[in-house]
Structure 1
Amino acid sequence: MKPIILQGHERAITQIKYNREGDLLFSSSKDNKPNVWFSLNGERLGTFNGHQGAVWCIDVDWTSTRFMSGAGDNSCKIWDCETGKELCTISSASSVRTCLFSYSANMAVYTTDKAMKQPCEMFIIDTRIVDDSSSGQQPIFRIPISGPRISSILWDSLDEGIITGHENGELIAWDLKSGKQINRVKDHDGLVNDMQWNKNRTMFVTASKDHTAKLFDAKDLLLLKTYKTERPVNSASISPIMDHVVVGGGQDAMDVTTTSARVGKFDSRFFHMVFEEEFGRVKGHFGPINSVAFHPDGKSYSSGGEDGFVRVHTFDSSYFEYNFDY
């Protein structure tokens, strides 16, 4: 399994994301230019130029016409996907940590950090009236977060609710009509770094600093499975065609210099979704893996690391022939 290595960022990768068809791969990093690549051959299609700080989060809508990014320069931007033109900039009081289009892409959500004496807040915007004027930048809904800050976010499949992952390991389900919490669980002991849906949005997987990835039922936030490792998990993704979960992580970058790369364990790990057993590892990164994503057709996956590289792995035929013994 020889990867395609995408080299377009100068600093650590923060997030990677496929569009719905999987022909495009978007990447963001701690430099200020999100990139878009052809996922088939790794050719770079272009960059989105305009941010002045580290880009923490990205998302693309289901028609691949609009792209959204949130950064440490206290702004969230919406772009035209085809031309790379900036459609609108939404200013915030602190850096934007998460951003996400709703399933229909008529709305989007972004959350800000608890910093500079500013509270963590969640904003809902109507993307149909996005323009350069101030009216396109006014959120239609604003929810202040009194507890630990939001570190990851999911939008439910009917555009009616949002699930947030928090710094203390809590998951909270919000009803958008009332702006109130309808459910909260605390099954993690550390920061929830990442949350990703399965193909039909009935379950989602979380990745946490408490060295585990967990599978939850979307309806009532019921914990279904736990995938244990011996290092912080930064990202996890569910295969759309197999009962497989890939997780990526590693020690924090500041601890890595004192140990060898072998001890750092910078490999993607594959777990069986049902049996919680690890059955494979893919090495390659020189630092912690910050983001992993399965291709929508399930035949490849990508990982982005602290080393600034995105690696696109296409599975060999032996991966599909492999049968789990049970």
Structure 2
Amino acid sequence: MARMAGRRALFAVPVLLAVTFGVFAAAALSPFDPVRAYAGTAGLTASQENLDQIRANLGADRPVTALWWDWLTSAATGDFGASAVMRRPVADVIAERLGWSVLLAGTAFVIAVLLGTVLGVLAARRPGGLVDRTATAAAYTLEAAPAFWLGLLAVWFFAVHLGVLPAGGLTDPGADAVTAGQVARHLVLPAGVLALTQLPWFHLYARQGVADALAEDPVRGARARGLRERTVLCGHALRSGMLPMLTLIGSRIPEVITGALLVETVFSWPGIAAATVEAATSVDFPLLAALTTLATAAVLAGNLLADLLYGLADPRAGFDG
């Protein structure tokens, strides 16, 4: 495990270098002007001389390679620079918002894994049955539904039509403090919607994996020995059939991150979505590079976690990846 983690860490270094440089290069080619975004409404009437002076003060007139290298050397020491559009250190912006994004994505991911696994196992027990047909049809339908559309539909039904859940935000309007109860109520809709976007994959993988395991000789032998169906299902078929799910966990992390950005926007969740959108549209080099690096690191860590879990669940696979 240690050797695998070490190899993956070494592999992550050039990947992160390439990603960060790609962010700076893409931002430089963007039609958005970071100087006008920094100046705001004043940039509409400012003279070209003043805009050029602001550009020089921000360092936006320097070559892309110089901007990237300066940011990279500073980031290596823990200094990610200052966000030009938010007028704050990048580290403060991320620290303020990252926890809420992790809470949303983590809650949704756990719900998707648990509920998808349960539905997949129930469907695999009786292929072609009512549960199988209903859950699988719903999974294929949800798989094709965009996250923002599900979010808007949830807001209309639960917040506007029924009025049982808040439409967005982190706390109730006029609240003086952030309480766990208010956060929990406001988390229900965004976490539920994000979980629905990931649930079909876990359901389909669990259903197919358990169905294949039930047809294997070891499971048939367990049934022939007279073991109870619950023991056969949970002790034999489920363990073998869940191995593909472990690799799925790592591969779904990019989709969770993308879906979280859309869901946070729909529900005005105070995560990193708003910062990401604002950084992209304002060509905020330091903030955009830091957020992209963070997302890339999360994907690499998720893939490593999936491989480690697979190796622990099936020692025959080993840790040679």
Structure with the higher strand share, 1 or 2: 1
Structure with the higher helix share, 1 or 2: 2
- TM score, norm. by length of structure 1: 0.20
